[in-house]
Structure 1
Amino acid sequence: MTISSAYIHIPFCQQICHYCDFTKFFYNERLADEYLDALYQEIHTYIPQEKAKVRTIFVGGGTPTVVTHKQLEKLLTMIDEHFDVSTCEEYTFEANPGDLDMEKVKLLKSYGVNRISLGVQVFDDEMLEKIGRVHRVKDVYTNIDRLMQVGLTNISIDLMYALPGQTVEGFEKTVDEAMQFGLPHYSSYSLQIEPKTVFYQRYKKGTLVKPPEDDEAEMYELLQRKLTANGVNQYEISNFAKPGFESKHNLTYWNNDYYYGIGAGSHGYMPGKRTINIRPLPAYVKQAMENGRPILHEESVGLKEQMEEEMFLGLRKASGVSLVGFERKFGRTLNEVFKGAVPNLKQRNLLIETEGNVRLTERGKLLGNEVFQEFLLDS
C-alpha cells in the first residue's frame, strides 16, 4: 500500500471570505492550541512509529499562516516528527498575503517547506473588500518579496473570475499584473455560489448578480491565452505552470492516487475507502483526543467507483486519461467499460483522442459536467 501524499487542514481564518465553503472558523489562540493537540493525535494514529515517506505534503485551510509563530512552529515540528520531510518532493503551505512576516517566512523555510500557495484572488483593492478579503494588493508585493529573499521561489497564486461586478477588462488587468511576477504556477477559479456562504444568502435574496455566462467564458479564454503566451502552460482545467512546476500534490488527486486527509473536514483516500472527517471544531477535537480517529463518514470504493473517478479526475488534466494506463489498472479497456461514451463525446466535439489518450477539447473544458455525466456507470 503506497500512500503518496498528505493533506493537513488548518481551519482558522482572520476573516471569513464571502464565497468560501471550506471548513473554517474565526481564529482564536486557545482554540488553535486545542486543535493542534488534536491534530497531533490524529497524525500519530496514522503514523505511530517511523516517519512516513510521502511524495507531497500540502497544508491548507482556512489559513495555516494565521496562527502565532509559536503555534506555527508546533505545527511544523509535528509534521517533521511524523513525515520524512527530507525525501518529500513538494511541501506546500497555503498563505494569505499579509500573513507572512519575515520570521514566519524563515520558519517555513527552515522546516523544509519548498512551495507557497498565495490566495491573491484579484489585483483590485475595491474588489478584495467586496469579496471579504482582508489583504490588499500591496501585501501581495510585500509577501512575494519576502519569500524571494529567503529563496522560497516556487510560488503559486490563486486568481478568481466571474465575481459580482467584475468585468472582462477588470479581470484582464488582474491577469496582466499577476503575470508581471513571472511566477512558476497560477491557479484560477470561477466563482461558485455555495450554500452556507455570505454570497449564497445574497444570491437567494436577489442582491448578488454574477457576470453573464458569455463574459465568464471570455474571462476563462483570456486567462488561457495570456498565460500560454507567457510560457505558463495549462496542465489542468484550473491550473497553469511553467514546465516542471506542475503541482505534484494536486496531481495526486487527479491521478486518483492515495493520500492521507488529516484535520477537521478533511477528505482522505486510502486503499478501498474514502474518508471524511468531522467538521465542527469541538466535535473534531473531542473525537481526535479520545481515539485519534475523528472520522464522520467512511465509504467503500469498489471497482465501479474507481473507474468512474479515474475518468472524472483524469479528464481534468490537459493530458487526459491514458487508454493503456486504464487497461493496465483495471484489466479492461476504457471502451469496453464505458461503451459508446467516447465516440459520442468525440462526435459532439467535447473529447479528442490523440497519442493513446482521451482528453477534453477546448469546448469540453467549458462543458466539463456534460462530459463527466457520460462516465457514470449503472449500478
Structure 2
Amino acid sequence: MKRGLLFFLGIIICSSIHAVELNPPTSYAKVKAKSGDAVFKLLRKYHLMEASCNIDAFYSLNNMSKSDPLLANKTYQLPIAIYQYNGTSIRSTIGNNDWDLAVSIQTYNEKLRDAKVKPTIYREDKILYVPHHLVNCEGSVPVTASAPTKEYVKTDIFFGTGEKIEKKSNVLQGKVYYIISGHGGPDPGAMKKKGNHQLCEDEYAYDVSLRLAKNLLEEGATVHMIIQDKNDGIREEQLLKMDRDEICKDKGAIPLNQKKRLQQRVSSVNGLYKKEKSNGKTQHTVIAIHVDSRSVGQKQDVFFYYSPGSRTGKKIANNIQNTFRKKYQVHRKNRNYTGTVTSRGLYVLRKTNPPAVYVELANIQNTSDQKRILPASNRQALANWLYEGLTGQTIK
C-alpha cells in the first residue's frame, strides 16, 4: 500500500474535501470475511456506515466493483488507518493539532472497544484506529440519510410488481439451484373443483417455487426458475387464478405435447448448468415441485423421488425428509410425519445433469391436504422447510 493512498482515495470520491495533513499510518486495518458476510454488514460492524464515502473507499482499497461479493476466508482491507499510539496524545501521534479531530478519533476507538470489535483501547494496546471519513470526507453524508444500506439481488424472476429481493447474506454464494415448477402453460396439471373455483396444480406449485427461490436468493444463491410467469408473483390469496401464460426459461412457449414439454425443461436446465459450470460453479441442485392427484379419501404427507442410482439425489431427498420430520415434531405434535423417499425413473430426474429431487406437496383431491397449500402462510412454511432441507441453513 503506497503512503498516503487513503488520503488520495478521499480526494477522488468525496463530495467535499477536508484537507487534513497527517503523519503516514503504520498500516491499514484488515479483516477476514466469514461465510455469510456482505460489504455493508462488514462496514456496519466497524461503524463505517456513518459516512457513504467509506463504502467507495472499501471497494477502491480492495480493487473491487460494487457487484463483487465478499469471499469467505479472504482478507480485506478496511478504510481505517492504523497508527502506533505514542503514549502521549492522539494529536502528536497523527501529527495534527486539531482538537476536534482528536476527540472524534478517540470517540470512534471507544465505540469499537465498547462493541467488542476491538478488544482493548488504544491507550493499552498502542493501536490507534483512524477511520477514513474523519480525515477525508467532511462533505460525505451518513449512509442512513442518502445512500442505500441494502443490497438487492439482480434476477429475471418476477416476484410481484415493485418487489425487490434484499440480499441478507452470502452464505449460499457459489451454489446454484434450478427450480422446476410442475406443468404450466397449456398444461395445468392436477385439478380439483372447489366451489366455483378450479384448483390447479401448476399455480400452487409455482407459488411455493417462487417463495423457495426468494429464500435462496436472499442468502446469496444463484437461482434459475425454469418455468416462469411474467405476471404472477408471490400471491397471498387462497384460491389462485389459473392462467396459461407460463414459459420455459431460455426456451419460450411451453409445448402442448408432454414429451416435448419435459425435453424442453431438461434442455433448459442442462444448458444453464453448462454455463454455470464453465463459470466455476461446482454445487448444483435441481428441485422439481409438484402437487399430486390421488383418490379423494387419501391423505398424504409431502414425499420425494430421486433418480435410481443417484446417491446425491437420494441424500438431498433424505435431508429434506428429515427436515419435515423435525418440523412435524414441533408443529404437528399430534401425529407423525409419514412422507417417503423412493427412487423413480421420471424423465426430469433421469435426464437433468445436476443431481435432482422431485417433490409432491399434497394430494389436491383431498380436503385435508388442500389445507397444506391453500393458505399463503402454509405455502410459505413449505418453502421454508424445503429451503432448510436443501441448504442445511435455518430460516431466520
Q: TM-score range by the shorter chain?
A: under 0.3
Which structure has the bigger radius of gyration? 2
